[in-house]
Amino acid sequence: MGKEHMSSQFDAELNGIRARLLEMGGKVELMIANSIRSLMERDSALAERTIAFDAEINAMEIEIDQKCLHILARRQPAAKDLRFVALALKIVTDLERIGDQCSSIAKQALELNREAQLKPYVDLPRMADAASNAVREALDAFVQGDAPTAAKVCGNDRFVDELNEQLQRELLTFMMEDPATVGRAMRITAVSKFLERIADHATNIAEMVIFMVEGKDVRHSSHSSV
């Protein structure tokens, strides 16, 4: 087998990891959208399907991990390719945990859907959109080795944080004014925090991408995880 053949085979394997990661990202985005939709539209069947769907994300994590180990063992990638594969191993774990958080949102939706709606959900879908966009942009930045896009994701993190803080304050007021709202308000608070954690995962991915591309570490400069 000639060197060129080896090399194109190697590229095909790297592209395979890229493609599967993007696919996994697409499924995770769908989970984010569906978990919040199950709450907005009081669609508990959708919440149940979203919880069940998490198994698919989990299976993809294992599969992509295996692909990465395989390429490390057989192809001995160096420099940029090595950093790519090492980062894929970390990113896939972030994506899997986002799946867990969507599943947790759907579980809260199931409970919230059993009761009268406490308030119109205005901020939650905005947070979900922003978090979902952040995940997509962070992954795009990863597969394209695009540091400026990754930097943009890091910069946008405050938006979801601020919506989360604003919603927490609003729910606090509800609870203090009417104790009967406490149970529901606590559940909405939990949903809001899960969305904030999802956006945090996207930021974590983006920070690691900047490191991969530029070889410099911006992790732990803008990152907050409250």
Q: Which of 34, 86, 96, 36 is nearest to 60 (CA)?
A: 96
Near a copy of itself by CB under 8 A: residue from 6, 19, 122, 172: 172
Looking at residues 11 to 50 of the shown chain, list those that interact with a copy of itself (rule: CB under 8 A): none
If you search the block for the tokens 């160096």, which residue do you land on? 78
Closer residue to a copy of itself (CB): 18 or 83? 83
CA 192 centroid distance within chain? 14
Alpha-carbon gap, residue 29 to 34, rounded angstroms: 9
In the complex, minimum distance from the CB of residue 205 to a copy of itself, in angstroms, rounded to a whole number: 11
Q: CB 3 → a copy of itself: shortest distance, Å?
A: 18
**Alpha-carbon gap, residue 68 to 80, rounded angstroms:** 14
| Nearest approach, Cβ of residue 126 and a copy of itself (Å) | 22
Shortest distance (Å) from residue 163 CB to a copy of itself: 17
Choice between 46 and 51, CB closer to a copy of itself: 51
User: Does the protein bind a copy of itself through residue 184 (CB under 8 A)?
Assistant: no
Give the x-and-dash track for 62-101 against a copy of itself (CB under 8 A). x--x--xx--xx--x-xx--xx--x--xx--x---x--xx
Residue 223 and residue 204 in contact, taking contact as beta carbons nearer than 8 Å? yes
What's the rounded Cα separation, in Å, for the pair 181 and 163?
20
Give the interface size with a copy of itself as a residue count (CB under 8 A): 45
Judged by CB under 8 A, the residue of 26, 155, 158, 179 near a copy of itself is: 179
CA 55 to chain centre: 16
Among 107, 136, 198, 210, contact with a copy of itself (rule: CB under 8 A): 107
The residue (of 5 and 220) whose beta carbon lies closer to a copy of itself is 220
Rounded to whole angstroms, how far apart are CA atoms 7 and 14?
Answer: 11
User: What is the rounded distance in angstroms from the CA atom of residue 56 to the CA atom of residue 102?
Assistant: 13
Residue 118 in contact with a copy of itself, rule: CB under 8 A: no
Q: What is the C-alpha separation between 105 and 82, in angstroms, rounded?
A: 35
Binds a copy of itself (CB under 8 A): choice among 61, 111, 146, 170: 61
> Tell me, what DSSP letter sits at residue 204?
H
Give the C-alpha separation, 28 to 76, whole Å: 30
Tokens of 157: 């993190």
Q: 19, 52, 122, 186: which one contacts a copy of itself (CB under 8 A)? A: 186
As measured in angstroms, the least distance from the Cβ of 92 to a copy of itself is 9
